[in-house]
Amino acid sequence: MSTLLPRRRDLWSMTLLVTLALLAVAIETAPVGLHPRALPSPDIVAVLIAVLAVRRPRALAVPLVFALGLFRDLLGDGPVGAGTLSLVLLAEGLRQAASTLARGSLLREGLVVAGALAAMFLLQYLITLIIFSQPPYVMAVVRQWVLTVATWPLVLIMLRWGLGLRAEATDPDRGLGALKGLGNG
Amino acid sequence: MRAVLLGIVVVICLVLIGLWRSDNPRLTQVRLALADTVSPSFGFIAEPIAYANEILRDYRALIDVYDQNRALREEIDRLQVWRSTARALEEENARLRALMNVRPAPRLGFVTGDVIADSGGPFSESALVNVGQRDGVVDGSAAVDGSGLVGRVVGVGERAARVMFVTDFSSRVPVIIEPSGQRAILSGDATRAPVLEFLGAPDRVNPGDTVRTSGDGGVFPPHLPVGTVVRTDRTWRALLSADFQRLEFVRLLRYNPNTAIDRPGGIVGPDRRPFAEQPATGAGPAPPLAETERETRG
């Protein structure tokens, strides 16, 4: 049971996640790109979660990610729930691959994150299609994806070298490790 | 345990998507209540970003200063000719009105608000402004900048309102094209020149014609400038007059629509009484502009 309770370091990581995510939402919604042809804001919250999923996977508690996603969805004007769902699935997907990614190179991690972010945007796009809502232009989504992927190294540098958040390659509690640990008693 | 939690969250998200798609009024109210609470705090972060963006924009403008100067001189020459024509027309118009004993319609009041947040993604074209119910804004109020129509209010909180731009995919505005008098529907498609749909007689329309709101449906006041007609491929479009590049303030017009606005956001929260019954404007017919306008900045 102790594996489910957050440790002090996890609490610190969660606080960091919430603080940075709120800052990210504020930046994303800053009114600087109102022109229809303006560049869309990168999804900084998703990038933050992608970086933390590899380095502090235990900080990404499902309710916390859900709350952050919902907050962002409600404050913005996109489909409520679609952004949250894709963010939660992104966090879980990257958590599953956390230990593998932590052992690999940064380039590999970057490629996996880019793929996961593409899947996230694709899911949001598909949801708008499925519910018969008007989806944005594909190019607009692609541009947002490119900007989001380009933001990843910046957030990584800030968290890894700025705040010293390094990957925990040997952490047995990463991803499904915690659940397996539960099963073993 | 985590898998169960994840399953529950997925189900909640699906329910939320359903509620959003069905335009649930409670959800709209929650969104605006959150915007009311959070937006003032976010201003501290948005302002430096907007300032940095302004510096960048000014730098770009500085690079193009010679071209702009030449273009402005040409524009001044053209406008000087127009000014004399406009003065003559104004005098003639005043004389004719005096002859006909025409009583002009009461001018519109408005409230000006700062744009404090955008939609944050490509899924919609909208923005939050820092004026709401307490300033007399109601669901459906038209939003304009100094040059033309920007959009309309689609959700009102106590201190904030969401403005859906005319460029949004969901936006439909009844317009009239002058001088031909053709009516059309301006349909947003996330470009600066939305499509003119249901144009009755396209052969009577020419590029450069003026597009204004027709007032049909009673949501928008008539004769608001919208843009000019352009033609791309086989589609007639309206190049918008509003300057979205420099959109920092918008004016929300206090206009009493003739018909009830069919918006779920208005069902639960916002005061849907006519303006005449609202305390912000007082009873009776709309007073002159100078008495009703109230500017809110910052």
Could you tell me if A33 lies within 8 Å of chain B, comparing CB atoms? yes
Residues of chain A whose pLDDT is less than 50? 1-2, 170-185
CB-nearest partner of A75 from B9, B38, B122: B38
Q: What is the tens place of the pLDDT at every residue in B236-279?
A: 999 998 888 778 888 898 876 544 445 444 444 444 444 444 44
Query: Which pLDDT value is given to residue B105?
Result: 55
Which of B211, B217, B215 minimizes the C-alpha distance to B237? B211
DSSP state of B108: P
Residue of A nearest to B160 (CA): A75
CB contact under 8 A, B116 and A31: yes
Which of B244, B55, B217, B221 minimizes the C-alpha distance to B150? B244
The better pLDDT of the pair A126, B35 is held by A126
Mean pLDDT of all residues in chain B? Answer: 79
Arithmetic mean of pLDDT, B294-298:
39
Query: Which pLDDT value is given to residue A169?
Result: 52
CB contact under 8 A, A137 and B122: yes
Chain A residues with beta carbon closer than 8 angstroms to that of B191: 36-37
Query: Which pLDDT value is given to residue A175?
Result: 42
Query: Which pLDDT value is given to residue B108?
Result: 67
**From the CA atom positions of chain B, what is the Rg in Å?**
22
Could you tell me if A122 lies within 8 Å of chain B, comparing CB atoms? no
Query: Which pLDDT value is given to residue B257?
Result: 54
Query: Which pLDDT value is given to residue B7?
Result: 93
Non-local (6+) Cβ contacts of B135 within 8 A are B111, B113, B252, B280, B294, B296
Query: Which pLDDT value is given to residue B184?
Result: 92
Q: Where are the alpha helices (DSSP H) in chain A?
A: 8-28, 44-55, 62-75, 82-96, 98-103, 106-130, 138-157, 177-183
Q: What is the tens place of the pLDDT at every residue in B157-200?
A: 888 899 999 999 889 999 999 888 889 999 998 888 999 998 88
Query: Which pLDDT value is given to residue A101?
Result: 87
Query: Which pLDDT value is given to residue B293?
Result: 41
Query: Which pLDDT value is given to residue A90?
Result: 95
A95-113 b/e with 16+ CB inside 10 Å = b? bebbbebbebeeeebbebb
Arithmetic mean of pLDDT, B133-152:
88
Query: Which pLDDT value is given to residue B237?
Result: 92
CB-nearest partner of B190 from A41, A131, A140: A140
Alpha carbon distance A122, A142 (integer Å): 9
Q: At what angle do helices A138-157 and A44-55 cross, to 10 degrees?
A: 50
Q: What is the tens place of the pLDDT at every residue in B200-239?
A: 888 888 888 999 998 888 788 888 899 999 988 788 999 9
The count of CB pairs under 8 A between chains A and B is 168
Could you tell me if B22 lies within 8 Å of chain A, comparing CB atoms? no
Look at phi and psi of residue A95 and say left if phi exceeds 0, alpha if psi is from -120 to 50, else beta: alpha
Query: Which pLDDT value is given to residue B123?
Result: 82
* ipTM metric: 0.82
CB-nearest partner of B127 from A31, A82, A89: A31
Query: Which pLDDT value is given to residue B112?
Result: 87
Alpha carbon distance B155, B264 (integer Å): 9
Query: Which residue in B6, B8, B9, B250 has the most chain A C-beta atoms within 10 A of its own C-beta, making it the best mutation to test that interface?
Result: B9
Could you tell me if B88 lies within 8 Å of chain A, comparing CB atoms? no
Neighbours of A74 (CB within 10 A): 23
Query: Which pLDDT value is given to residue A111?
Result: 94
The interface residues of chain A toward chain B in range 75-114, judged by CB-CB distance below 8 A, are 75-85, 88-89, 92
Alpha carbon distance B255, B226 (integer Å): 17
Confidence class of residue B101 from pLDDT cuts 50, 70 and 90? low
Torsion of CA B63, B68, B69, B72, to 10 degrees: -160
